[in-house]
Structure 1
Amino acid sequence: MMTSHLTTHVLDASAGRPAAGIDVLLEHRDGAGWTEVANGTTNDDGRIGDLGPERLETGTYRLTFAVADYFAATGTPTFYPEVTVTFAVDADQKHYHVPVLLSPFAYSTYRGS
């Protein structure tokens, strides 16, 4: 099993449960703009444990969480159709975990462990 340098976890704070079925795109910023590195979908626990390669090079990355379909599936209106988190990676760091706490009209994120 491949171990990813980056993992994520989405919790629906308004419902008090993991946010399953959210499509997530990982991109790297280069001289030409943004280049896709990987993509995945949160599992029943709201996690993606294998998002991207075993090692990411040093640089700027972003995760885009497509949350509109997640909320639409429950008939919940949302202000944010997607959530984008941009962050810096140091290739010497062992692991990056980027959790998102989500609700229809707010979100928060932090560097997890």
Structure 2
Amino acid sequence: MVFHKDLQEDAYKIEEADPVKSKAIESSLWELKTLQCHFHPDVAKKAKRIDQPLLKNDISLGILLETSYSDLYGKETKKKVKHAPANFNPPKGITGLPSDKLNLCWTLD
């Protein structure tokens, strides 16, 4: 559930120990903290910018905030895969057993 309200300040009360009384659900800051743990590294990196101190010179927020799914998809599809993972542990022979007689006839190179 996402709330979009025009607030002058955040409703969250950081001093309140009781989560119900802290008004955390009325805050939007929890969304940013959740995005900092996002599976996509670009999304997580942009969400972590909120924890960094503000720069003295103005920066274009468009570069930081206006990333679309198409941009993310395009960036991922342009990456070159160095080694496509097929197995976590590389197989040793046909059956994986070192004592198997088939290993004498076949190799997986």
TM range (shorter): under 0.3
In terms of Rg, which structure is larger? Answer: 2
The higher-RCO structure (CA 8 Å, 6+ apart) is 1
TM-score between the two structures when normalised by the length of structure 1: 0.18
Higher-helix-fraction structure: 2
Higher percent of residues as strand: 1
TM-score relative to the length of structure 2: 0.19
